[in-house]
Structure 1
Amino acid sequence: MALGTDTGGADAGTEVPALSGAPLLGSLHDLKSDSLGTYLRAQQRHGDVVRVSAGPPGMRADLYCVFSPEGVQQVLASQAANFRKDNAFYQEVRESFGNGLLTSQDEDYLRQRRLVQPLFTRRRVDGYAGAVAAETASVVTAWEEALDGIVDVSDEMTHLALRAVTRILFGTDVEATADVVARCFPVITDYVLRRGYSPANIPRNWPTPGNRRAAAAMEELYGVCDRIIGQRRRAGADASGEDLLTLLAAARSSDDGEFDDGEFDDGELRDQVLIFLLAGHETTATSLCFALHLLARHPEQQDRAREEITRVLGGRPPQASDLERLPYLSQVVKEAMRLYPAAPVIGRKAVAATRIGGHAVPAGADVILAPWVTHRRPEHWPDPDRFDPDRFTPEAEAGRPRYAWFPFGGGPRACIGQHFSMLESVIALAMILRAYSFEAVDAEIPVSAGITLRAQGPARCRVRRLETPWAVSG
């Protein structure tokens, strides 16, 4: 029996129900205009496993969408070896952002994980709290000059998360890199999306305007990374920095002799840096943006979170150890991640035929997981669109399937930075809520699924400075 198959093979399962679409293009238009709504509709109409077809005859793609927590667990964990990152989308990410920890597979991935894992222990990550607090303090101070007291928390949290991850990666080189990343990333990510979801693409080296814009952005982004990597290499043993790049450059296998992974060469270092920039700022920015906007729309929960912050912190700056002392604020972050998961759609490709939820999934099938949908299953999340941080008390979490909530993925490829994401989010929110109260200007924020979840409009809030002498402490 092939690795990853259920007993009996795919032919023992029932046919996967299909979402109806247009005769010529299937669900192509629906997926392009509102992919998240299309997946949600597919689950509501047909259940746990649904086939969605898109594209013209001869170029049509069949997407096998898996929505149940049990099916998600099968794909990400119990049969993870049968579901690989071999689809067209991941290939486009690879070609633009390198073969880093997010995109690599097999021995490349295992080697990278062994080299990087020691840099993401809880103790090491807790050491980044100071950098997050420093960047948050700058944002809190800058808001005192906000025109009419209104800020767009989508733009502001993207700025904050980018500067925080840049400081952690590059140390003192924040100014040299943050502007380049902010300018180049949108060009490259839009390029990846267009190509990743297109049924056919022209070669990247053809001199079209889109290819040339993307190539110029990649050249500029790669250039600044390569320059800083070169500086670290030249510093060699004299380098005393604790920024992540310095630690990555010095990363070696464990001394137990089990593995001899060597170290990252300059190209591999750049790949890791690019992936950390991508995954480390866009995802956290999404969580912070929607956490603030949700609290701005729900004053009772906002007041409860602020009361906890005031009681625990008083006038001192937050520290890593405060993460466990701020349980309600952590619940706010988790509930924001439930309603607005930074990775709303996850793709894999089945190696061998298998069954999921009793349905036959053929070898080579494109498999789609959608946290956006699974996080809204009413049997696990009553009144699923309601914002309720108390869904994440320890007792409530214990009563749900493991993969009813999976904003960080799961299984052997679970996000290595999930503790950092929670730490950054809680520290930033604690400092911001201690300094300002929030009232939503935009009642709803339209979103779309890019590489990460994207706000398609402003997320404006009216902020009011709280009269406390320690509001900008940190």
Structure 2
Amino acid sequence: MAVDTGHGTGTGTSIPDLEGVPLLGSLPDLKADSLGTYLRANRRHGDVVRVLAGPPGLRAELYCVFSAEGAQRVLAGEAANFRKDNTFYQEVRTSFGNGLLTSQDEDYLRQRRLVQPLFTRRRVDGYAAAVAGETDAVLASWARARDGIVDVSSEMMHLALRAVARILFGTDVETTVDVVDRCFPVITEYVLRRGYSPANIPRGWPTPGNRRAAAAMDELYAVCDAIITGRRDASHGEGLGEDLLTLLAAAQSADDAAFDATELRDQVLIFLLAGHETTATSLGFALHLLGRHPEEQARAREEVSRVLGDRTPEAADLDRLPYLTRVLKEAMRLYPAAPVIGRRAVAATEIGGYTIPAGADVILSPWVTHRHPAYWSEPDRFDPSRFTPEAEAARPRYAWFPFGGGPRACIGQHFSMLESVIALAMILRAYEFEAVDTEVPVSAGITLRTEGPSRCRIRRVDR
């Protein structure tokens, strides 16, 4: 069904600007609340809005595209014209490596060809037992929760990191998790500060911030390199493991040589970054939303109990838990792990009746599109029924795009759904949730992040 949003219908007028303050434009608003600023831009000016940020001479021009049709054009229909060439991606690339998330052109195509066979549905389904094992460990730890309260955001971050580290590294989990827990926040803050700054000093200058980030990157790189060296040494013997790193080290094709050590590390770092924060966001907010909506929580638990009984969930159960899947999709609508997506236009392109100029920094925002009243009635309301097959078929494809889309859609989306459904099923079978913090402030980092606790009171389910 085509939806006419009623904005920018080929009038030939200039793109509307979001109001800002003298000299700095919208920079203070973006720093204080970028997601709220983009939402306000859409509500006031429609589906294509220019946002100016920064002082004259260092001013950024952001061309924001908020419609589902515009998102499809940028990510799929004309994907080759919208590249990951902006400052933010360059900072991520420099800190976390030139892996699938950040690479381009032939580098990206080669990496995708080598990695794709490791993310087939059959291969990913084999990771269900690892996810279930890590979920069991988290559930056991909750028996010691002080006052019966847990911060579901923090707990799901811990679970998702351990699960992806187990799948990546097999037995080399503990050291990796400790280093990632310590180093990732330092590097992430550094990337964000540089990625959104109108001007940066060179990374090599010995400032305190540069030195802290360099030390964190050195430590993170060192632990990954040591594990990679061990895998490569083991690959010359017998009994290769089935962890993802071993498979990545062995990956090659008729057209592509295997990854070298640096390329392997780049893939590992990107998988660690994208593979745990995104899933953790979906799980944490799904639990918090259910903690605020007891009727939906009871319905999801009833489905889990009816389908699973007391047995451990398996990959085949994903299709047997449709309501639980709708809960997760609705959580990803309200709290998309990638709330803002940036691209740079190669050539001038018409979107929504307006011309996006060549060289423009283009902003897509699932945060805004997922709340667009043209596609979602009462968009701030939690309602899993939005994701029945009939409701999904009635909406434009890119009204909901938490995994991106087009040729660069997230390669791990099936893994994310597998992990999320299995973990959420096991958690709901074991515990009831009541939200303590009714509102959780968020901000846009590399992924969506909470700016406060998301605590729930938990109680064991009698079975």
| TM-score normalised according to structure 1 size | 0.95
Does structure 2 retain, via aligned residues, the 8 Å contact 1:132–1:164? yes
Is residue 184 of structure 1 aligned with residue 179 of structure 2? Answer: no
**Structure 2 residue aligned with 1:382:** 377
Cα deviation, 1:87-144, whole Å, max 9, x if unaligned, reads 0000000000000000000000000000000000000000010110000000001101
Which residue matches 1:18? 17
CA contact (8 A) 1:439 1:461 kept: yes
Kindly provide the CA deviation profile for residues 354-395 of structure 1, in whole angstroms up to 9, marking residues without a partner as x. Answer: 111110111000000000000001121100000000000000
Q: 2:386 aligns with which of 388, 391, 394?
A: 391
2:80 counterpart SS class = helix
Deviations 1:245-292 (A, max 9, x none): 000000011x5xxxx111100000000000000000000000000000
Q: What is the match of residue 151 of structure 2? A: 152
Percent identity, aligned pairs only?
79
Deviations 1:218-237 (A, max 9, x none): 00000000000000111123
Instruction: Return the alpha-carbon distance in structure 2 between the equivalents of residues 58 and 466 of structure 1.
Output: 61
SS of residue matched to 2:102: coil
Structure-2 residue corresponding to 1:123: 122
Q: Residue 13 of structure 1: CA displacement?
A: 4.6
The C-alpha deviation readout for 1:136-188, integer Å capped at 9, x for no partner, is 00000110110010000011000000000000000000112001001100000
Structure 1 position 460 matched with structure 2 position 455? yes
**Cα–Cα, structure 1 residues 239 and 204, in superposed 2: closer, same or farther, change >3 Å?**
farther
Q: How does 1:82-97 map to 2 (within 5 A)?
A: 82-97=81-96
Alpha-carbon distance in 1 for matches of 2:219, 2:13: 51
Of 419, 430, 437, 1:435 maps to 430
Give the match for residue 217 of structure 1: 216
How many Å separate the matches in 1 of 2:336 and 2:383? 15
Q: Report the counterpart of residue 245 of structure 1 in structure 2.
A: 245
Match of 1:408, as an amino acid? F
Tell me what 1:197 maps to. 196
1:5 matched residue in structure 2: none
* Offset of residue 239 of structure 1: 4.5
Contact 1:14 1:360 in 2 (8 A): no
Verify: 1:53 aligned to 2:48, yes or no.
no
Matches of 2:355 and 2:52, distance apart in 1? 16
Aligned to 2:282: 287
Contact 1:293 1:440 in 2 (8 A): yes
What does 1:12-411 align with in structure 2 at a 5 Å threshold? 13-237=12-236, 238-253=238-253, 255=254, 260-411=255-406
| Equivalent pair of 1:158/1:286 in contact (CA under 8 Å) | yes
Worse overlay, 235-244 or 377-386: 235-244
Question: How many Å separate the matches in 2 of 1:265 and 1:234?
Answer: 13
Q: Secondary structure at the match of 1:53?
A: strand
- 1:12 CA drift (Å): 9.8
For the residues of structure 2 that align with 1:118 and 1:178, how far apart are their CA atoms?
Answer: 26
Q: Distance in 2 between matches of 1:431 and 1:363?
A: 49
Matched residue, 1:416: 411
Please name the residue that 2:4 is paired with.
none
* In structure 2, distance between residues paired with 1:249 and 1:348: 31
SS for the counterpart of 1:32 is helix
Query: In 2, are the aligned partners of 1:12 and 1:360 still within 8 Å (CA)?
Result: no
With 368-377 and 238-247 compared, the bigger mean Cα shift is at 238-247
The unaligned stretches of length 5 or more in structure 2 are 1-9
- Aligned pair count reads 453
Structure 1 residue 467 displacement after superposition = 2.1
Which of residues 446, 454, 457 in structure 2 aligns to 1:451? 446
- C-alpha distance in structure 2 between counterparts of 1:321 and 1:98, whole Å: 34
* Mapped partners of 1:438, 1:235: distance in 2: 45
Q: Contact 1:436–1:464 (CA<8 Å) still a contact in 2?
A: yes
Task: Give the distance between the partners of 2:239 and 2:280, measured in 1 at CA.
Answer: 31
SS in 1 for 2:453: coil
Q: Work out the CA distance in 1 between the residues paired with 2:384 and 2:82.
A: 33
Q: Which amino acid aligns with 1:351?
A: V
Shift of 1:14: 3.3
- Structure 2 residue identity aligned to 1:386: R
Structure 1, unaligned runs of 5 or more? 1-10, 469-474
Tell me the distance in 1 between the aligned counterparts of 2:95 and 2:359. Answer: 24
Deviation of 1:244 after TM superposition, in Å, equals: 0.2
What TM-score do the two structures reach when normalised by structure 2? 0.97
Contact 1:98 / 1:275 at 8 angstroms: preserved in 2?
yes
